Structure 1
């Protein structure tokens, strides 16, 4: 199977609003509409078999609707693999985790920067105690602030990995958006997956090569960050930037099999 492990899709009623918010934050004009049908059409054109769709509850009262959306989306088409979400201030996480498990959801997405907490807060560690060994976890990592001031960063994620050895973890954006120097120092070569989403066009070439040389290729997963970027264009960019052979590209496109088999 060939995967795009980092995508987003939204209900048509809110898709335009979300894209506007993303543009305001990142200054990037989305390539896609954010609608599930558009995602599948673009993924198929790119030669991908499955897309992993992420959502993150930015407040406790969004947890249930966000997870219900993920459950319904996964049921709508076998090409969707959806991750659930949780917020550290939600009252009964165990009940929601059990619901996700009953519906076959195998992963969770956390975006500390948008969800309003720091990765090293005790309340978040209590959640991870419940999660490790049960769900794969996709972390948004990094942003425009320096690591010590940013809610997420490679340094904080390295501490999580040390404290939760049973946690199956994907560090988005090649280990940390705008934090690639620290991703190379703290995460490259460590027991963590990385994805290529929202990273390759913005990275210093030498830092990118350092990470690629240090980290196992089968632990680097292709991700486009649709709808900000188009999966086919992202695949071509990855191949061109790193001058990868087709066989090497297949490693990155199929490495997620280990997570979802």
Structure 2
């Protein structure tokens, strides 16, 4: 990975389809997501690599394992990791492990890091049906912290299940960032990303990220033109070293996000931190051998 040539690092993109056509979401949930965000293509990992390479952007890629709550089988973490390994100049593998898997999930996480080069793990508490501070997830966090990996938590409202009766059983309360504050206390060296402007808990997310040294915020899932003013204010000041560019591709394209970000009132010296430098430091990225 040639860091000097990259203009940005997108820390939040989804592998939505496997090589054999298996979707990361059930047809019901995918249909609701498409209605909420607008219809979009579901690129393969190879297609994602080509897309990001053309734009000189690197991307963190993951899927979500919510098999316990939804009954829908996940996309293989190994497939995601191997797909990213084929494009190390632009793709960075994360994984999804259902916290309901307990110690079996912790063993899987260790194997994915040690044998497949996974750098972090994505959690979606609302879809997975758990509170981030539930002790049943702690064996998994222990491994992630020990190995120096990143735990990325969806926070705030989700478009998944929106408009489906009962929200398809998805409970928004699980994604309150204050629940992650407990995780940051109990695992003080665990690197944590709070994903998205955390509507309706934006102030809570800012408080946690300001108070806990290991907690970062990514800006995915929203066009920057809709960012709450307090988020922009903190990104420009107290959290300038802890805010990260993320798009939520493919539901939001980096092209749209970056175009709107250009119009945002962000200090010139802060822009490169948000777009790339903070992610390089958090993910421990290094230049590839020439």
TM score, norm. by length of structure 2: 0.76
SS of the counterpart of 2:56? coil
Give the distance between the partners of 1:251 and 1:30, measured in 2 at CA.
32
Which stretches of structure 1, 4 residues or more, deviate above 4 A after TM superposition? 15-20, 60-65, 200-204
Matched, 1:40 2:49: yes
CA contact (8 A) 2:122 2:152 kept: yes
Q: Which residue of 1 aligns with 2:154?
A: 140
Q: Which residue of 1 aligns with 2:284?
A: 260
How many Å apart are 1:256 and its aligned residue? 1.3
Unaligned runs of 5+ in 2: 159-166, 286-290
Give the distance between the partners of 2:152 and 2:115, measured in 1 at CA.
20
How many Å apart are 1:184 and its aligned residue? 2.6
Give the distance between the partners of 2:98 and 2:45, measured in 1 at CA.
24
The 1:30–1:47 alpha-carbon spacing in structure 2 relative to 1, beyond 3 Å, is farther
Q: Which residue of 1 aligns with 2:67?
A: 59
CA contact (8 A) 1:189 1:214 kept: no
Give RMSD over aligned pairs. Answer: 2.9
Matched, 1:11 2:18: yes
Q: Which residue of 1 aligns with 2:80?
A: 70
The 1:142–1:213 alpha-carbon spacing in structure 2 relative to 1, beyond 3 Å, is same
TM score, norm. by length of structure 1: 0.84
Mapping of residues 108-147 of structure 1, within 5 Å: 108-134=121-147, 135-143=149-157
SS of the counterpart of 1:241? coil
CA contact (8 A) 1:109 1:139 kept: yes
Mapping of residues 98-247 of structure 1, within 5 Å: 98-100=110-112, 101-134=114-147, 135-143=149-157, 150-174=173-197, 176-188=198-210, 190-191=212-213, 192-201=215-224, 203=226, 205-245=228-268
The 1:207–1:236 alpha-carbon spacing in structure 2 relative to 1, beyond 3 Å, is same
The 1:217–1:32 alpha-carbon spacing in structure 2 relative to 1, beyond 3 Å, is farther
The correspondence for 1:27, drawn from 36, 40, 44, is 36
CA contact (8 A) 2:66 2:128 kept: yes
Deviations, residues 54-98 of structure 1 (Å, cap 9, x unaligned): 111111587885222222212221121111121122261243123
How many Å apart are 1:221 and its aligned residue? 1.2
How many Å apart are 1:207 and its aligned residue? 2.2
SS of the counterpart of 1:256? helix
Give the distance between the partners of 2:174 and 2:150, measured in 1 at CA.
20
CA contact (8 A) 2:121 2:150 kept: yes
SS of the counterpart of 2:10? strand
CA contact (8 A) 1:136 1:167 kept: yes
How many Å apart are 1:206 and its aligned residue? 2.0
